Each structure stands twice: as C-alpha cells, then as structure tokens.
Amino acid sequence: MIEKVSIIVSKGSFEGIYPALIMANGARNEGIEANLFFTFFGMDAIHKDRHDHIKVATVGNPGLHLATWAGGLPGASSLMTKYMEKQVQKQDFPGIAEFVEMISDTGAGIYACLASVDLFGMERSDLIDELDDIITVGDFYDMAAGGQIIFT
C-alpha cells in the first residue's frame, strides 16, 4: 500500500496543475500523506497574483486535437480555458486557489522550490498563505524519501 506521495508541479498551465491537485486530493481522501512541490512555471499555482489566471496551453497540445497553427490563433487559449473552466465546474471541482487551500486544510504539505523562487525573483510575500515552506531540491528529496514521487 502507498503511504506517501510527493507530487512535483512544474507546469503553469490548466492541464498541468489540475491533475496534480486532483491526485493530491485523492491521496488525502485515501489517508495517504501528500506533499506538493511547486517548481518552475508550476509556481503560478501558488503565486497570489497569478493563481486565478491560469490558462490552457493550446499551442502544441496534442490532447486538444488541434493543428498547432489553430492553437496559436488569437483568443484560442482564452476560449479553451473558458470551456475547461465550465467543464470543471460541472464536475464540482473548485478553482485552483480554492483547491490548493482545500488540499492544505487536509494536512497536505505545500512547498515552493527555492531555486525557482530565486530564478523568478519572487519573495515569500508573493506566494499564498497556505505555503508551508520554500525548500531546496535536497529538502524535497529528504521529505519524499520512502514514498512515491509523481512528476506532472
């Protein structure tokens, strides 16, 4: 039986963030310890000014079954994002900010990558209140030891 999962969130797109949140929530619902480690563009999910503005990546996204040029048309990303937001609402999933808060409330760990914070010139005050800590990759590995690591 799985006792612990550590989920790395590296993509800042709608389809990159939601799967990680769904998996963390599912783990907590099953009594599995869960930690989310946000790095690179995944940091947008825990950035106070950005977490409500996450978009679907339409260019080069094979899951959309669109020609690459069609995904690059003006408004394509916004249109697909609105569509996916409606689909998520139909499933009664919360928005990203609320979902992260809900997962944090279950006892899951919410962590930011120190290298990404430094790379993007962020401060602790830029990030959500639910953030447990800003940690190094080594700290993440120590925390993840003995469990499953999932990279999204």
3-state secondary structure 7-68: EEECCCCHHHHHHHHHHHHHHHHCCCEEEEEECHHHHHHHECCCCCCCCCCCCCCHHHCCCH
User: Which neighbouring-strand residues pair with 7?
Assistant: 36, 150
* Residue 75 covered by a domain: yes
Determine the average pLDDT of the residues in 122-145: 97
CA–CA distance, 114 with 29 (Å, rounded to integer):
29
Query: Which amino acid, residue 80?
Result: M
Task: Mean pLDDT check: name the lowest of 11-25, 29-43, 61-75, 106-120.
Answer: 61-75
User: Which neighbouring-strand residues pair with 6?
Assistant: 35, 149
Range of the domain at 101: 58-107
- pLDDT of residue 28 exceeding 90, the answer is yes
Q: What percent of the chain has pLDDT over 90?
A: 89
* Residue 43 covered by a domain: no
CA–CA distance, 36 with 96 (Å, rounded to integer):
13
Total of domains in the chain: 1
- Report pLDDT for 46: 98
- Report pLDDT for 61: 87
CB contact at 8 A, 135 and 114: yes
Nearest to 96 by CA among 6, 10, 19: 19
* Residue 5 covered by a domain: no
Determine the average pLDDT of the residues in 64-88: 91
